[in-house]
Amino acid sequence: MVISEEKNGLGSIRIADDVVRIIAGMAASEVSGVVSMSGGVVGGIAEKLGRKNLSKGVKVEVGEKEAAVDLYIVVEYGSNIPEVAARIQDAVKSAIERMTGLAVVEVNVNIQGVAFANELNEEENSNRVK
């Protein structure tokens, strides 16, 4: 676990990679058109967004003053994918910079799949039965 560290007159401030991952995942999940996050090319299985694993589908590289983010997303069928991806980039960059003070140098959005409305309804119904 890499930690971003800043020193000031009172001591140091450390921000763990996991914190940046969660901020990015939360910001992406709030964008309209994002259905779920994917574990990436290797994981391949999409999971519904939930509070328990907000860093799913998020990879970050955090330096002392900069961060780079890779997101793996499943979008809703009918969404304008380039628009959704651009909104994700803006939301993630803004949230990380506002909350951590790190400069976000890139936000790469990887669309891993498209979810259809009937699939979403079936998945919601199957989750209620359990």
Residue with tokens 């959005």: 109
Beta bridge partners of 109: 71
CATH homologous superfamily of 3-129: Cation efflux protein, cytoplasmic domain (3.30.70.1350)
Predicted confidence (pLDDT) per residue in 44-93, tens digit: 444 444 444 777 899 999 988 999 999 999 999 999 999 999 999 999 99
**Contact present, 95 and 14 (Cβ < 8 Å):** no
Nearest to 59 by CA among 76, 80, 38: 38
Query: What is the DSSP pairing of strand 34-38 with strand 66-76?
Result: antiparallel
Q: Per-residue confidence at 129, pLDDT binned at 50, 70, 90?
A: low
pTM over 0.85: no
